[in-house]
Structure 1
Amino acid sequence: MVVGFIFFITFIIPMICGVLAWRSHSAKAFFIGALAFVVAQVLIRLPLLGWLSYHSDTYMLWRNTMPLVFSIILGLSAALMESCARLIGLKGLKAVTKQQAIFFGLGHGGVEALLIVGVPMLLQPALWDSITVVAGVERIFAMVLHVGLTLLVWLTVQTKKWRYFMMAITLHTTVDASIGIVNTLWPHYAILILETLLIVVSITTLYYGNKKGNEWHEI
């Protein structure tokens, strides 16, 4: 039952979002959003981190001796790569509506859920025993966060106010860096703290991005 729930979250929901994007004439935005994640993470950041782990003594020294600083660096690198990919993608689309920006974020978060949880789950059935409902809930709010972050970057493009872009980077860094920080400082309460933080930040970011987006439309 849990595996079925995770399958629904990581496969069915992204597919539904894709269909809705197509019916809403936002399929291109959805696809570019997904592509932005693939390019930023799968093709650039993760291979670069893998290369550094084998070829950089400094990288490994920081990883082994300064876990808190290393967590912040990893979180910031993810935030920078994905935020820049969003910026390039949204600028490339031109005249993007708020609805299209939302589908861009859903494409970004949907492909992340698919690649990080969905595909590994299918390829490695041995993981099924360790999969919990928490993983599915986490993916839901991760997608919510990606939509909120995309709205902030979209506002950057529309208003030319870079504070929204910096806000997106800061929030993304906070969520990603907290994984290593919390697991280092409070390992026994890590799941509770991390999931609570993700839920609060994702909902707040989406609310703020949507609110500011509506205000911009009214000007």
Structure 2
Amino acid sequence: MAGVIFGLLIGIIFPLVSLLYCLIKKHYFKPYFLGVSAFIISQMLLRLPLLQWLSVNVMAYNMFQVTQPFLFALVLGFSAGVFEEVARYIAMKYFMRNNQNWNDGIVFGMGHGGIEAVLFLGISVLASLFSPTMMLLHGTDYFMGGIERVFAILLHVGLSILVLKGASSGQIKYLVYAIFIHGMIDSFAGSIPLLITNSFSIIVIEGLLIITSVLLFAYCIQLRKNWSVVK
């Protein structure tokens, strides 16, 4: 039950509280909404349907997955980085002209990571409330999923600040950094189990997520000291 409660806290309650805060602090509603929209458009409406179409209609795509699993994991991971970070950049560059301060990056990341938490964790946890068996079987998974979502949200906050730095200062290199970091983290999920073929691979993957998200956010704190916006 503790796992279910923690999963609900991270997958449902946190995104809702964040949304309510942004509704009260009206200045932050636009970056939060755009963060949510950037994820939904880039992943749910573009990237995932494209990958599904390729898997059904393109034989070479499936052969590549089977014959080159490591490279396939890298390509898949970096495709997420390209789709999400470019969407982030477009939203910030062209729709956030009056919301390009450091704090706006945090709010954007909370929206982006929050909707991901709802879709990939929160909905499943809510469904378990109506199924005692599901709750019993997946309680530990929800707890671990909640921990993963905490650091995934922190990662999205860091990536959002990084991309916003590029959009607000006119330095495209920050977008490239974000694509690389995002791509590497996502590719770990598919490549590391190929290198470590036991349950320890999960610890390695989650450990790399935690280390990367914390270091990235620490770097973003340093960026705040010389934050500049080009109008």
| Normalised-by-shorter TM-score class | over 0.9
Q: Report matched runs for 1:136-151 at 5 Å.
A: 136-151=146-161
| Cα offsets for 1:31-72 (capped at 9, x unmatched) | 110010000000000000000000011110111111110000
CA distance in 1, matches of 2:40, 2:142: 25
- Structure 1 SS opposite 2:225: helix
Aligned residue among 78, 81, 88 for 2:80:
78
SS in 2 for 1:215: coil
- State the 1:106 CA deviation: 0.3
> Structure 1 residue 11 and structure 2 residue 12: aligned?
yes
Kept in 2, the 8 Å contact 1:10–1:114? The answer is yes
C-alpha contact (below 8 Å) 1:155/1:213 kept by paired residues: no
Q: TM-score, normalised by structure 2?
A: 0.90
- Distance across 2 between alignment mates of 1:37 and 1:51: 19
**How far did 1:183 drift?**
1.1
Cα distance, 1:17 vs. partner?
1.4
Q: Equivalents in 2 of 1:57, 1:68: separation in Å? A: 18
Task: State TM-score, norm by structure 1.
Answer: 0.94
- Which position in structure 1 is the counterpart of 2:162? 152
Secondary structure in 2 aligned to 1:216?
coil
Q: 2:40 aligns with which of 38, 41, 45?
A: 38
CA-CA distance at 1:86 after TM superposition: 0.4
2:112–2:156: 8 Å Cα contact kept in structure 1? yes
Offset, 1:19: 2.0
Q: What is the identity, as a one-letter code, of the residue corresponding to 2:222?
A: K
Q: Percent identity?
A: 33
User: In 2, distance between residues paired with 1:30 and 1:127?
Assistant: 32
Q: Which position in structure 2 is the counterpart of 1:196?
A: 207
The question of 1:97 aligning with 2:108 is answered: no
Tell me, yes or no, if the aligned pair for 2:169 and 2:228 is still in contact at 8 Å: no
* More divergent stretch after superposition (121-130 vs 162-171): 121-130
> Any conservation in 2 of the 1:151–1:210 contact (CA below 8 Å)?
no
Structure-2 separation of matches of 1:187 and 1:202: 25
Partners of 1:120 and 1:62 in 2: CA distance: 31
The residue type equivalent to 2:187 in the other structure is A
Partner of 2:226: 215
Which consecutive residues of structure 1, in runs of 5 or more, have no partner in the other structure?
none
Name the SS for the 2:171 alignment partner: coil
Supply the RMSD in Å over aligned alpha carbons: 1.6
**Count of aligned positions:** 218
Assess if the C-alpha contact under 8 Å between 1:101 and 1:154 holds in 2. yes
Task: Report how far residue 121 of structure 1 moved.
Answer: 3.1
Alignment of structure 1 residues 170-181 onto 2, 5 Å: 170-181=180-191
Structure 1 range deviating more: 122-131 or 111-120? 122-131
Q: Within 1, Cα distance between the matches of 2:150 and 2:163?
A: 20
Structure 2 unpaired stretches of 5+:
none
Q: Distance in 2 between matches of 1:42 and 1:26?
A: 24
Q: 1:121 aligns with which of 119, 125, 145?
A: 125
> What is the distance in 2 between the residues matched to 1:137 and 1:50?
28
